[in-house]
Amino acid sequence: MTQESNHSPAQADTFLPGPVLLLGAPGVGKGTQAQLLMAGYGIPQISTGDILRDNIARGTDLGKAAKGLMDNGQLVPDDMVNDMVGARLSQRDVQRGYILDGYPRTLGQAEWLDAHLEGLEESAGAVALPLVAINIKVDEQVLLKRITGRRICGKCKHIYNVYFKAPQQEGICDVDGTALQQRSDDTEAAFTERMKAYHSLTAPVIEHYGKQGRFREIDGDRDVEAVTESIREALEQLRQAGN
Ligand code: AMP
Tell whether ligand 1 has an atom less than 6 A from the beta carbon of residue 69: yes
Residue 76 lies in a domain: yes
pTM above 0.75, yes or no: yes
Residue 126 one-letter amino acid: A
Q: State in Å: Cα 7 to ligand 1 middle.
A: 32
Between the CA of 47 and the centroid of ligand 1 the distance, in Å, is 9
Per residue in 105-163, pLDDT tens? 999 999 999 999 988 766 644 467 889 999 999 999 999 999 999 999 999 988 899 99
Q: What is the pLDDT of residues 68-98, one digit of tens each?
A: 999 988 999 999 999 999 999 999 899 889 9
What pLDDT is attached to residue 15?
Answer: 86
**Domain for residue 68, yes or no?**
yes
pLDDT reported for residue 22: 96
127: domain range? 9-138+196-240
Least confident of 1-10, 15-24, 63-72, 165-174: 1-10
CATH of the domain at 220: 3.40.50.300
Distance CA 56, CA 67 (A): 7
Residue-wise pLDDT for 183-197, tens only, equals 988 999 999 999 999
Ligand 1 atom with least separation from CA of 104 = 19
For ligand 1, what atom is nearest to the CA of residue 52? 8
Number of other residues whose CB lies within 10 A of the CB of residue 211: 8
Average of per-residue pLDDT values in the chain: 90
Closest C-alpha residue for ligand 1 atom 10: 73
Number of domains in the chain: 1
Q: Is the minimum distance from the CB of 75 to ligand 1 under 6 angstroms?
A: yes
Residue pair 76/66 in contact (Cβ under 8 Å)? The answer is: yes
The Cβ of residue 187 has, within 10 Å, a number of other Cβ atoms equal to 15
Q: Is 185 part of a structural domain of the chain?
A: no
Q: Characterize the bridge pairing of strands 18-23 and 97-101.
A: parallel
Enumerate the active-site residues: 30, 105, 150, 183, 194
User: Do 146 and 24 contact (CB within 8 A), yes or no?
Assistant: no
To test the ligand 1 pocket, which listed residue (22, 76, 191) has its Cβ within 8 A of the most ligand atoms?
A: 76
Residue 78, domain member (yes or no): yes
Q: How far apart are CA 243 and CA 236, in angstroms?
A: 10
Cα atoms in the 13 Å half-sphere on the side-chain side of 179: 2
Does the residue 118 lie in any domain?
yes
- CB neighbours (10 Å) of residue 195? 19
Residue 188 located in a structural domain: no
Return the best residue to mutate from 35, 52, 54, 69 for the ligand 1 pocket (most ligand atoms within 8 A of CB). 52
How far is residue 102 CA from its own chain's centroid? 5
Ligand 1 site, residue 25, Cβ cutoff 6 A? no
Number of C-beta neighbours around residue 32 at 10 A? 22
Query: 127 or 238: which carries more pLDDT confidence?
Result: 238
Query: What are phi and psi for residue 136, nearest 5 degrees?
Result: -95, 130
In a domain, 166, yes or no: no
Residue 211 in any domain: the answer is yes
221 has a pLDDT exceeding 70: yes
